[in-house]
Amino acid sequence: MLVAVCIKQVVTREWQVRVNEAKTWVRDQDASWELNEPDAYALEEALRLREKHGGEVVVVSAGPARVTQVLREALARGADRAIHVAGDHLATADAFTAADALATALANEKVDLVLTGLQSDDQGFAQVGVVLAEKLGVAHSTIIMEVQVNDRTLRVKRELEGGWFQWIAMPLPAVLTIQSGINQLRYATLKGIMAAKKKEVKVVAAPAGAAARQRITSVYMPEKVKQTRMIDGAPAEAAKELVRVLREDARVF
């Protein structure tokens, strides 16, 4: 069973974001980078499927040269090999461009299952997995909390709203977007880090001519403002209005 995992390199959560001069993205040269956390759960699920059913796990990432960092990290955690779709423009690519690049990398791989994180920690549109499935022409399902493989079929558990779940039967090959918390993450061991240095990282060129469907027009830091609102009236009515404001306006509960 060949499982491909699409991973992304994102800015670390602890880094204080600095916007570039064009105000269209962050200042890459000053940023600290890490593996997108939802993708880490997808990788862990792929490794568990390999341990249970055998086969191979290949990780794929699209972006500039720096994404090799997260590919090596994935290899250190246990992935068998990696594919880097190289292109500086992919650092800020929209979902359609990113999915097109990933689909190109997987075109010559006889993949049984493709896993991605539900969404990225930077743009967070949760679109790449779905668009990728359409480009590959395979079945897909989202917000997955459990994966069961039986021969050439899948049984997956989807998270719905309000604490509800849904079980779906699907054929292989397929694309699944994995929900964070589906499993407990493993981390790279010293042995894994040493072994990762000898594993293959294949570099392929990004496809030409993929037109972006979305673009970022402006990035800015949220403005901090203070505002005081007085609630008048009888105590009972004021309390009722306070609860409404906290729930509907402030959304604190």
| Sequence-separated (6 or more) residues with CB below 8 Å from residue 213 | 94, 95, 96, 97
Q: Which is higher by pLDDT, 108 or 252?
A: 108
pTM as predicted = 0.83
The answer to whether 147 and 49 are in contact (CB under 8 A) is: yes
**What are the distances in angstroms from CA 148 to CA 10, 188, 189, 199?**
29, 25, 27, 28
Domains and CATH numbers, the chain: 2-205 (3.40.50.620)
Residue 168: pLDDT band with limits 50, 70, 90 = very high
| 17 has pLDDT over 90 | no
Q: Determine what percent of the chain is predicted with pLDDT higher than 70.
A: 99
Q: What's the DSSP call for residue 248? A: I
Torsion of CA 149, 170, 125, 128, to 10 degrees: 80
66-80 average pLDDT score: 95
| pLDDT score recorded for residue 170 | 93
Residue 79: pLDDT band with limits 50, 70, 90 = very high
| pLDDT score recorded for residue 227 | 78
> Would you call the peptide bond into 64 cis, given omega within 30 degrees of 0 as the criterion?
no
| pLDDT score recorded for residue 225 | 78
The answer to whether 126 and 106 are in contact (CB under 8 A) is: no
Q: Single out the residue of 87, 76, 81, 141 nearest to residue 114, CA to CA.
A: 141
| pLDDT score recorded for residue 226 | 78
Structure tokens at 233: 């009236």
| 224 has pLDDT over 80 | no
Residues found in the chain: 253
The H-assigned helical ranges of the chain are 37-53, 68-77, 95-106, 128-136, 190-196, 235-244
Residue 19: pLDDT band with limits 50, 70, 90 = confident
| 88 has pLDDT over 90 | no
| Sequence-separated (6 or more) residues with CB below 8 Å from residue 176 | 113, 114, 115, 116, 129, 140, 141, 142, 144, 147, 154, 156
**Average pLDDT over all residues of the chain:** 90
Residue 71: pLDDT band with limits 50, 70, 90 = very high
Long-range Cβ contacts of 20-23 (<8 Å, 24+ apart): 20/219, 23/218, 23/219, 23/220
Structure tokens at 227: 């505002």
| pLDDT score recorded for residue 98 | 92
**What are the distances in angstroms from CA 204 to CA 35, 39, 87?**
20, 21, 9
| pLDDT score recorded for residue 179 | 95
| Sequence-separated (6 or more) residues with CB below 8 Å from residue 211 | 96, 97
230-250 average pLDDT score: 89
Reported as a single tens digit per residue, the pLDDT across 24-58 is 788 877 788 999 999 999 999 999 999 999 999 99
Reported as a single tens digit per residue, the pLDDT across 196-216 is 999 989 999 888 867 778 888
Reported as a single tens digit per residue, the pLDDT across 104-163 is 999 889 999 999 999 998 888 899 999 999 999 999 999 999 999 998 899 999 999 888
